[in-house]
Chains A and B, each alone.
Chain A
Amino acid sequence: MKLAYWMYAGPAHIGTLRIASSFKNVHAIMHAPLGDDYFNVMRSMLERKRDFTAVTASVVDRHVLARGSQEKVVNNISRKDKEEKPDLVVLTPTCTSSILQEDLQNFVNRASIETQADVLLADVNHYRVNEMQAADRTLEQIVQFYIKKAQKTKQLDTTKTIEPSVNIIGSFNLAFHNQHDIAELKRLMSDLNIKINSIIPEGASVQELKNLPKAWFNIVPYREIGLLTAEYLKDEFDMPFIDTTPMGVVETANCIRKIQYILNDNNADVNFEKYIDIQTRFVSQSAWFSRSIDCQNLTGKKAIVFGDSTHAAAMTKILTKEMGINVVWAGTYCKYDKSWFEKEVGDLCDEIVITDDHNLIGDLIAKVEPAVIFGTQMERHVAKRLNIPCGVISAPVHIQNFPLSYRPFLGYEGANQIADLIYNSFTLGMEDHLLEIFGGHDTKEVLSAGLSVTSEDSEIKWNLESQAELTKIPGFIRGKIKRNTEKFAQEQKMETITLEIMYAAKEAAA
């Protein structure tokens, strides 16, 4: 047992559901107790999705516990098949079904006899893998299934497209700034004259998976989800893939050079150096910005970085290589990716922290006292408590990390966004600090401006109970309630305010 208040990565089934519900016309059925369909709330609320999330539960209740699911799962699968006519139904195990050890594969086999849809059992173990690992595996599983299916029916076409083309593997729901990143990648590919063969899984149909081998290469922007699929396609069809995340101008250039290498390897004869040069110097603002006088002030400032391995590593590289900032330590909660992370940022920071314990992270932050933190929502709250500015660079995220406006982290526009994020975090911190040194802007005490509770001119007394009640009212409306109640009491010619008068005043004000 582990005492836990907060976790960085969710349970395995969330990963499977994120992949399944990203595809078009795929329905996931969770083998889970009532209330485990919280995923639907997250997708509907955080991403503000307009359509019903294609996830339902085959509810595990007392009866299931006593007698097993029996026909229930099979019936639920065939019911969804008739109602929604999905291309694929993914049966998703949860922590509950892991312990029940029912033969879910058997249900899948039985159900698929009667259904029009294909049926798959997600191959994930709740106690062994987390959200990201499960998502990675589920994506590979679905791709593999449809490639094999096409091979069997001899529908697999592995002829490459005439012009250079790419699959982007890494577009899914509930991911950090993902929609914007994908748009930015599309733009980059179009600049490089590379056709998009397929973007999976968000918005993709499972029918188009058999066309994946037609692309010249694959790009996996985030290493948490998509690498398994890319590796599978490499093994099966010798498709090269790029796992360099184009985040920051240096890494974007590296990524583009790798693309160039792959294309030239296939006799395309391209040279992107000029494109990189122009983008870096004139189109993107961030390289010039780092060079400008303003950014000199950031030199050697202490920062710490924490997040998933993709974003934490990329951010560490940007801070150190592109802005001259001193990263005291960088860390990730993707424990299974430790060696990669160490290899990537080992030389760039003083220390590496691999943990999924937010308390440890909090303590380490407090100890180092950095000038700025780049982390997840949890670090943002630690930062708030310690009065350190913080920029959010990675999941887990809140609704404000799903902005409406165009906010990519990848590519050249992404570099601009990140530069703003870094700079704004620092200046705010500096402003705060200067204000403190010089004693703040407003040195004169504000007298009864009418905003706060303390308007001393009132003759009316509050008895103990009502005073206590008043303190329970949230600060931002307390003053208003106090004034309203006193006004009411005056009108009623009361001298002391009791609880009863408070409530009466509330009713009267309504």
Chain B
Amino acid sequence: MNQIKHVDNNDLKEKINFECETGNYHTFCPISCVAWLYQKIEDSFFLVIGTKTCGYFLQNALGVMIFAEPRYAMAELEEGDISAQLSDYEELKRLCLQVKRDRNPSVIFWIGTCTTEIIKMDLEGIAPKLEAEISLPIVVARANGLDYAFTQGEDTVLAALAQRPNAKQLETQLEKAIPTDKDYIEHVPLILFGSIPDPVVNQLTLELKKQGIQVSGWLPSKRYTELPLINEGNYVCGVNPYLSRTATTLMRRRKCKLIGAPFPIGPDGTRAWLEKICTVFSIEPKGLQQREDEIWEKLKYYVSLIDGKSVFFMGDNLLEISLARFLIRAGMIVFEIGIPYMDKRYQGAELQLLQKTCKEKNIPIPIIIEKPDNYNQVDRIRDMKPDLVITGMAHANPLEARGINTKWSVEFTFAQIHGFTNAIEVLELVTRPLRRNQKLEKIGSQRYTDRR
């Protein structure tokens, strides 16, 4: 069994080449997190306090969801709000009462945007007062484009949520999880964080159950009213690579112990994630090698399609390191890993697994480019001619027209990609352009523009 050692940052710096470019890249605005969070937290309502620009983005990016009476809306700021002719408190109160009357949510999330930052609207200050007045919890998250990219929006929301649950019970002392049945061993409570669809929650919970580990709760839970008890000394572990603020909040504010593990993406990642958790609880993992082998066996067809092929991550959703690591294990060669933001501490174990994977596959460790510059990247793509570029929708069609296979990165955010069961979904996505374009070869030329 290969256990994951403690990560030594200096060690990593020598071996992995990190670079930082200009930050001129395309990504979704972090307010897009409302799209999946309102669906995940069933009794919530998300109020995005911003301008028409924010609204236009949500309306177009979320497409059909808009028409399904979503539990989110814009509090659209008008000129009077910007120039402080109107009272923020009164305005927000009016809208929140309307939301309360029409939708009766258990919680309202205020999503702060660039505009509320610039005009310094004191959302954190207003919320507690208004909360008391309208007797409805209000959680403030600043998911703005000044500070964050795409999936980091979820991080800001979960970090805000992490401060909410059972605040008055902070005093209660460290307690052991009481095994509810004989399937579990006795251990310090474990809480997992990261928003993933309910079926995936069940799958990962069951994987841990097979090792005798009981998951005491998930952040976020299905309903706001079911937020888990988080007590000092509890263990927490992330399932997504973009949750560094949430991790920090749980450690610093809630005094939890963070299990730094690779993320359960791909069979290799899932196994390493489970093993790390087992190690922390001093459990000898059972049957994981066999389980991983079985999954790889099922992936054989997909692996045969991508074996030896090259891939280039332009970077926009912070899943890049984990996906690259999985794809290298599956036989691909990664040219470049673009990523909006790289938390070397929170992703430490993942980086180490990447390093280890490259070593075992005997290929050079790809360069990791933080805050990439899309213009330069397109230049590099022209030179390197990778077999696949994982990129946002702004570049996908133009690259396809130049004969380069692309996969939109956004799909990895919305698809079920965690755990053993869903490894196949990742490869299904990755190989789709390759499978499709193979079939189209008969049309003739793969180039559909004369421009550079």
Contacts and interface: CB of A to CB of B under 8 A. Distances in A.
A203 to B, nearest CB: 13
A506 interface: yes
A34 B145 contact: yes
Nearest to B410: A41
Interface stretch (A93-101, A363-371, A404-412): A93-101
Interface string B276-308: 000000000000000000110010000000000
Interface in A71-99: 83, 94-96, 99
B66 A60 contact: no
Given A3-B98, A56-B375, A51 B401 contact: yes
B298 to A, nearest CB: 5
Nearest to B57: A38
Contacts of A49: 397-398
A2 B203 CA distance: 42
A53 B394 CA distance: 8
Given A5-B73, A499-B202, A95 B449 contact: no
A499 B76 CA distance: 43
A100 B118 CA distance: 7
Nearest to B81: A1
A127 B393 contact: no
Contacts of A37: 26, 394
B147 interface: yes
A62 B117 CA distance: 10
Nearest to B68: A381
A148 interface: no
Contacts of B199: 469, 472
B147 A62 contact: yes
Interface stretch (B87-95, B211-219, B433-441): B87-95
Contacts of A14: 56
Contact of B51 (A5, A61, A62, A95): A95
Contact of B57 (A35, A50, A465): A35
A388 B347 CA distance: 53
A35 B78 contact: no
A358 to B, nearest CB: 10
Contacts of A48: 397
A22 to B, nearest CB: 16
A477 to B, nearest CB: 13
Interface in A41-73: 41-42, 44-45, 48-53, 56-57, 59-62, 65
B75 interface: yes
B141 to A, nearest CB: 15
A11 interface: yes
Contacts of A13: 53
Nearest to B69: A5
Given A35-B150, A45-B397, A51-B398, A507 B51 contact: no
Contacts of B115: 95-96, 99
B78 A57 contact: no
B62 to A, nearest CB: 11
A499 to B, nearest CB: 5
A2 B95 CA distance: 8
A500 B60 contact: no
Interface residues on A, range: 35 or more
A127 B401 contact: no
Interface string A126-148: 11101000000000000000000
A10 B29 CA distance: 16
Contact of A7 (B31, B59, B398, B448): B59
A507 B66 contact: no
Contact of A507 (B73, B114, B421): B421
B136 interface: no
Contact of B53 (A36, A45, A381, A384): A36
Contact of B202 (A36, A65, A469): A469
Contacts of B202: 465, 469, 499, 503
B23 A61 contact: yes
Contacts of A51: 398, 401, 449, 451
Contact of A472 (B31, B52, B63, B198): B198
A4 interface: yes
A425 interface: no
B348 interface: no
B84 to A, nearest CB: 11
Interface string A108-128: 000000000000000000111
B74 to A, nearest CB: 5
Contact of B77 (A1, A94, A465): A1
B382 to A, nearest CB: 12
A40 interface: yes
Nearest to B59: A6
A219 to B, nearest CB: 30
Interface of B is mostly: helix
Interface in A439-477: 465, 469, 472
Interface in B13-42: 23-31
Nearest to A80: B375
A499 B149 CA distance: 35
B119 interface: yes
A162 interface: no
A35 B149 contact: yes
A510 interface: yes
B146 A3 contact: no
Contacts of B57: 35-36, 38
A3 B95 contact: yes
Contact of A41 (B73, B198, B393): B393
Contacts of A44: 393-398
- Name, among A96, A378, A384, the residue most crowded by chain B CB atoms within 10 Å (CB to CB): A96
B86 interface: yes
Nearest to B51: A95
B398 A59 contact: no
B405 interface: no
Given A44-B398, A59-B23, A3 B99 contact: yes
B181 interface: no
B312 interface: no
A33 interface: yes
Given A3-B73, A3-B98, A60-B114, A33 B146 contact: yes
Contacts of A499: 202, 206
Contact of A126 (B51, B99, B451): B51
Interface string A242-275: 0000000000000000000000000000000000
Contact of A6 (B30, B49, B66): B66
Nearest to B378: A52
Contacts of B70: 5
Interface string B390-409: 00111111100100000000
Contacts of B394: 37, 40-41, 44, 53
Contacts of A510: 298, 424
A6 B72 CA distance: 11
A472 B23 CA distance: 40
B304 to A, nearest CB: 15
B24 A56 contact: yes
Nearest to B301: A510
Contacts of B73: 3-5
- Name, among A40, A60, A378, A503, the residue most crowded by chain B CB atoms within 10 Å (CB to CB): A503
A96 B50 CA distance: 10
B144 A40 contact: no
B28 A61 contact: no
B55 interface: yes
A510 B302 CA distance: 11
A310 B298 CA distance: 57
B393 A34 contact: no
B145 A10 contact: no
B145 A35 contact: yes
B63 A398 contact: yes
Contacts of A42: 60
Contacts of A4: 55, 73-74, 76
Given A34-B25, A36-B145, 6 more contacts: A1-B77, A2-B74, A3-B73, A37-B26, A56-B375, A94-B53
7 contacts: A35-B29, A36-B29, A41-B394, A44-B398, A49-B397, A126-B52, A507-B294
